[in-house]
Amino acid sequence: MTPDIGKAHPAAAESIVIPIGTDRIEADLRVPEHAAGLVLFAHGSGSSRFSRRNRAVAEFLEPRGFGTLLLDLLTSREESIDVHTAEYRFDIPMLGTRVVVATDAVRQRRDLERLPLGYFGASTGAAAALVAAAERPALVRAVVSRGGRPDLADGALPVVQAPTLLIVGGDDRRVIDMNRDAMRRMTCEVRLDIVPGATHLFEEPGTLEQVMELAADWFRRHLTRDR
């Protein structure tokens, strides 16, 4: 059942724990009534599930009928180390595996198992999302990257099957070039949208709102249709 886009629906909210070997990562889950799909958020370098920008995007998607899972990619121990050394934030294979583990955990829940899945990745989190999409092609229907580094997904790029939207700020020239290079290696449906006047973090007035609209439209197209 496709929800009335734009109409608010009460959301069930909970914090969940996902086992990672002998440790765990944490996530915040919100699922509106009659959700059309579930979007897993992979944060960027040095950030967490409390990322202000990712939470803003999640809050925009929820009344439009999408559940959201804001995910920590590092354990609390790893975060305490990474804040000083930055040794984990660019470990894309490990981060991609964390997204895969979270995806499998979602699929094991009876209340979520039927929801079409999408990924929203920011910065290095976009590379992790693409690695996971390549690992779970039968499950992931769409990927959105905000200011992402898809180039860091490397060998996973030609394997991704999910339609992918790359959103980059118009003033983020170096990252635009990286995204164009990544596009040339991808074989799935892929689109690059450039937000004029935006820098890497989309801090300029109105630019993050454009990201929200683009992401919502992409997920509306690819998560609410039969495949």
User: Is residue 75 situated within a structural domain?
Assistant: yes
The rounded distance, in Å, linking the Cα atoms of 223 and 200 is 27
* Structure tokens that stand for 50 in this block: 């409390």
User: Is residue 2 situated within a structural domain?
Assistant: no
Structural domains in the chain (count) = 1
The rounded distance, in Å, linking the Cα atoms of 81 and 197 is 35
Residue 104: how many CB atoms within 10 A of its CB?
14
User: Is residue 202 situated within a structural domain?
Assistant: yes
Helix, strand, coil share (%) of the chain residues, nearest 5: 40, 25, 35
User: Is residue 143 situated within a structural domain?
Assistant: yes
* Structure tokens that stand for 28 in this block: 């915040």
Q: Phi/psi at 99 (nearest 5 deg)? A: -65, -40
Can you give the residue range of the structural domain that contains 200?
A: 11-223
pLDDT given at position 79: 83
The rounded distance, in Å, linking the Cα atoms of 198 and 176 is 12
The rounded distance, in Å, linking the Cα atoms of 189 and 161 is 8
Summarize pLDDT for 105-146 with one digit per residue, the tens.
999 999 998 999 999 999 999 999 999 999 999 999 999 999
Q: How many residues does the chain have?
A: 227
Higher pLDDT, 44 or 179: 179
Q: Phi/psi at 45 (nearest 5 deg)? A: -55, 125
- Measured CA to CA in angstroms, residue 188 lies from 141, 149, 191, 205 at distances of 11, 17, 10, 32
pTM of the predicted structure, to 2 decimals: 0.91
pLDDT given at position 1: 34
User: Is residue 5 situated within a structural domain?
Assistant: no
User: Is residue 110 situated within a structural domain?
Assistant: yes
pLDDT given at position 3: 38
Q: Phi/psi at 208 (nearest 5 deg)? A: -65, -35
pLDDT given at position 7: 44
Q: What is the CATH number of the domain that holds 155?
A: 3.40.50.1820
* Structure tokens that stand for 23 in this block: 């440790």
**pLDDT greater than 80 at residue 46:** no
User: Is residue 179 situated within a structural domain?
Assistant: yes
188 exposure class (CB count in 10 Å sphere: 0-12, 13-18, 19+):
middle
User: Is residue 41 situated within a structural domain?
Assistant: yes
pLDDT given at position 116: 96
The rounded distance, in Å, linking the Cα atoms of 189 and 11 is 31
